[in-house]
């Protein structure tokens, strides 16, 4: 059966299948952004430990937010083939969901560059979630992190993408 779509190219592989850093030197800098999300599910004791008065380590949400911002700035150190990028803004927001003992971490990175900020947003969300685990693990070792996912990106050759939205298919010319 013929394929209806072209197999996606893995850009971090050279023709022989070896790992390589993508050359972006010929690309023009353009405005870009990316947002990622991580979900942290805690037990009741660990959820109570989110409050600084209940946690000997301090304000877990504030520490996690700062950890996410700091991690975004070090993404190229975490991800071997990721370009070290300059960006204009990193925001990390942690939303408590008391009824489910969850914290939703949202990380957004914006700037102008030759390549996207998806990895920076994912690393920021991941680091904030891992920091929440560290801050609350004394109360509950069964904390669950996940999913960690890209929720949207904009800019660059591939344009905008939003999780859950169907990709736009170009209209077919009439008469074919």
3-state secondary structure of 149: strand
Give me the residue label for tokens 């394929």. Answer: 3
Looking at 23, 77, 134, 140, which residue is catalytic? 134
How far apart are alpha carbons 69 and 71 in whole angstroms? 5
Burial class (CB in 10 A: 0-12, 13-18, 19+), 52: middle
* Cross-strand partners of 121: none
Q: Is 134 a catalytic residue?
A: yes
Give me the residue label for tokens 């925001």. Answer: 91
For residue 36, report the phi and psi dihedrals to the nearest 5 degrees: -130, 160
CB 73 within 8 A of CB 82: no
Tokens representing 4?
A: 């209806």
Give the residue numbers annotated as catalytic, written as ranges: 134
């Amino acid at each position: 059966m013929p394929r209806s779509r072209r197999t996606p190219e893995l850009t971090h592989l050279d023709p022989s299948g070896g790992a390589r850093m993508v050359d972006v030197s010929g690309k023009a800098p353009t405005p870009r952004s990316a947002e990622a999300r991580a979900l942290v599910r805690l037990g009741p004791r660990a959820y109570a430990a989110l409050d600084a008065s209940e946690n000997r380590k301090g304000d877990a949400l504030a520490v996690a937010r700062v950890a996410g911002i700091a991690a975004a700035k070090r993404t190229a150190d975490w991800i071997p083939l990721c370009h070290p990028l300059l960006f204009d803004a990193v925001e990390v927001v942690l939303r408590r969901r008391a009824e489910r003992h969850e914290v939703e971490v949202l990380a957004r990175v914006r700037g102008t560059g030759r390549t996207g900020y998806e990895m920076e947003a994912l690393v920021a969300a991941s680091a904030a979630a891992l920091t929440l685990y560290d801050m609350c693990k004394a109360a509950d070792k069964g904390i669950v992190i996940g999913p960690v996912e890209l929720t949207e990106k904009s800019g660059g050759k591939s344009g905008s993408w939003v999780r859950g939205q169907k990709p736009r298919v170009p209209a077919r010319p009439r008469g074919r």
